[in-house]
Structure 1
Amino acid sequence: MNALVENWRLEPQRDRQAELSVVIPLYNEHEVITLMHARLTAVLAGLDMPYELVLVDDGSRDGTPNTMHQLAQADPSVTAVFLSRNFGKEAALTAGLAHAAGEAVIIMDADLQDPPELIPHMLRAWKDGADVVCMRRRSRAGESWFKRYSAHGFYRLLNAISDVDIPADTGDFRLLSRKAVDALNRLNERNRYMKGLFAWIGLPTTVIEYDRKPRAAGVTKWDYLSLFNLAFEGITSFSTAPLRLAMAGGLLTAFFGVLFTLWIVAKALVLGDPVQGYPSLICMITILGGVQLLSIGLLGEYVGKTYYETKQRPVYLVRQVVSQGRTASPTANAHAGTATAANEPYASYK
């Protein structure tokens, strides 16, 4: 029974019967979505367990919404969630987890770089007692050497400065138990770095290694600037080390400034060497100004995060949910997709 109930505003995941949910965020993936659905359902059909596919459209501008709508009407296992605009992948994942009904929830991308054929192995680890099954990328086919090595270095840097142990070389491809999903749905922060949140809940975790494949179709939507922003989001969301480094840099700069001052005084008093005023002054101003601006920028990043958290805006807004050929659209009220401590993933606004 995957039919969408009329009052889907309140915990829609409790109104469907599914032992396994597969959550897939989508953004401009029209070229691959049909292939992904066929390959994924071929794997899931052989599991002998009720399942559902929760497809989340993150404000796509190509044919993705139309294809999702058709799949939701033709396949009773598909629930299509349409966000009101592009909120970002982390918000789309949050929306998908809020709508997932299964006792086990698998997150994967639509590009088929993460093979659906590995799902039985993930389920086996879950049945053996793991609440989180992380898929660690042993190799990354179809990606440039710069992307591979920068990702390798980033995960180790994040682990070195973070307060939680975030598994290295793991993306969003993973399995979460119902206990883990409920724990994540209770985290209502707005600045969400999901890989860190997956690790923060601290439930028993199993790691399985696999070889990542090239994209089945289409092109990646992640350029290097987007990846840098995501990496910076992860660092500032799970560590205050940059602030400490800025403070250490300030102390070190001040220390060398004092030594430089003493050296100038010694040369003037003991050796009678005239002070080289203009060049040294410009160098000191440039160095101190750069350190100050860097420190202010880091501080502003953390203050800005606090600013957005205090606004208490929802993580995402749902425009429409389609399942079993039926459609629910917000009319008098739209719906805000934010998980609260009361475990009510939707709030209304006017």
Structure 2
Amino acid sequence: MPCFNEEDTIPIFFKVIEKIVKSMKNINTEYWFIDDGSSDHTLTAIHKLNADYPDVVHFISFSRNFGKESALYAGLKAATGDYVVVMDVDLQDPPELLPKMYDYLASGEFDCVGTRRTNRDGEPPIRSFFADQFYRLINSISSTNIVNGARDYRMMTRQMVDAIMSMTEYNRFSKGIFSWVGFKTKFIEYHNVERVAGNTSWSFWKLFKYSIDGIMDFSDMPLSIASWTGILSFITALLGLVFIIVRAITVPNSSVSGWASLVCIMLLIGGLQLLCLGIVGKYIGKIYLQSKNRPIYIVKEKK
């Protein structure tokens, strides 16, 4: 469970999950709370649970905020169970689905049971619109299919978790990684659930940047767009040059006028060049960060 400023939700979450887990027969569980550099009393709430249930509740506390992807990676690395569940502590991931998820995996037919929301009730319409467009876009330009509405909330076999952990890339997009490693996955649908307490830390701008990272991590189409933009600009300029030469020959007294339009065209071409450079630079930046071999996260406290 990745946690960032979730001091109000952690006690509620643990109480609800424990009730459901205890109703499942022949199940031994461990909890790994990953404190992603929270600025509130999240770590204090985790400390209290760890003191009350030292053999069951464990935690990792980062030295600063490294992001949810780093927290997910740390949790998967620490988990030792035959089946591993990833979920948020705000109870937007319905815990009552856990028994059904376990039954599917225990049958041996599936390697992973994921979840997807069938609606986005309670979210701002603009966020829902762009979320739908993101899934439509990334699935059209990437060979890795990402189910629309899929959540990180899922139960996986040890084999699948080990496959995910073998991918030690610095720039991580878990939804894509879960799909890329393969394995047979069953999705359970549910209606959107509001947070039980607190406020989300995901702003529209953070989600937008996260979606851009996801697209670039699993598709090189933006590089192709940059290349085709350059080719299109070259062809357009060549046709314009031919038109100017032909007009100069056929209409001797023709004069070139309209410096404002000329400036606009120069700015347009310059803008396209900068856009293409920015796309290439984004990919080079990811290569640069990967080449540094920096750790994905730094642990301040673990228990």
1:283 aligns with 2:264: yes
Q: 2:60 — aligned with what? A: 81
Pick from 32, 36, 46: which aligns with 2:13? 36
Secondary structure of residue in 2 paired with 1:166: coil
Deviation at 1:208, TM superposition (A): 1.3
- Whichever structure has more strand as a proportion of its residues is 1
Name the CA distance, whole Å, in 2 between partners of 1:254 and 1:276. Answer: 22
1:294 aligns with 2:275: yes
1:156 aligns with 2:133: no
1:66 aligns with 2:47: no
Give the aligned residue type for 1:257: A
Pick from 202, 207, 211: which aligns with 1:222? 202
What does 1:112-191 align with in structure 2 at a 5 Å threshold? 112-128=91-107, 129-191=109-171
Name the CA distance, whole Å, in 2 between partners of 1:81 and 1:195. Answer: 22
Q: 2:180 — aligned with what? A: 200
Name the CA distance, whole Å, in 2 between partners of 1:162 and 1:220. Answer: 29
Give the aligned residue type for 2:225: L
Residues 272-317 of structure 1: CA deviation (Å, up to 9, x unaligned): 3211252343122111101110010010110011111111111111
List gaps (5 residues or longer) in structure 1: 1-23, 323-350
8 Å contact kept, 1:264–1:275: no
List gaps (5 residues or longer) in structure 2: none
Deviation at 1:92, TM superposition (A): 0.3
Q: 1:7 — aligned with what? A: none
Deviation at 1:25, TM superposition (A): 0.3
The percentage of counterpart residues that share the same residue type is 38
Name the CA distance, whole Å, in 2 between partners of 1:45 and 1:297. Answer: 53
Name the CA distance, whole Å, in 2 between partners of 1:212 and 1:81. Answer: 29
User: TM-score scaled by structure 1?
Assistant: 0.83
Give the aligned residue type for 2:281: G
What does 1:215-294 align with in structure 2 at a 5 Å threshold? 215-271=195-251, 272-276=253-257, 278-294=259-275
Residues 101-160 of structure 1: CA deviation (Å, up to 9, x unaligned): 111111111111111011111112212321121201112232111111211111121111
1:97 aligns with 2:80: no
1:319 aligns with 2:300: yes
Name the CA distance, whole Å, in 2 between partners of 1:142 and 1:77. Answer: 34
Deviation at 1:267, TM superposition (A): 2.6
Name the CA distance, whole Å, in 2 between partners of 1:270 and 1:132. Answer: 71
Query: Structure 1 residues 233 and 306, CA, compared in 2 at 3 Å: closer, same or farther?
Result: same
Deviation at 1:168, TM superposition (A): 2.1
Q: 1:106 — aligned with what? A: 85
- Whichever structure has more helix as a proportion of its residues is 2
**Structure 1 residue ranges, 4+ long, deviating more than 3 angstroms after superposition:** none
User: TM-score scaled by structure 2?
Assistant: 0.95
Secondary structure of residue in 2 paired with 1:139: coil
Name the CA distance, whole Å, in 2 between partners of 1:134 and 1:255. Answer: 48
8 Å contact kept, 1:143–1:214: no
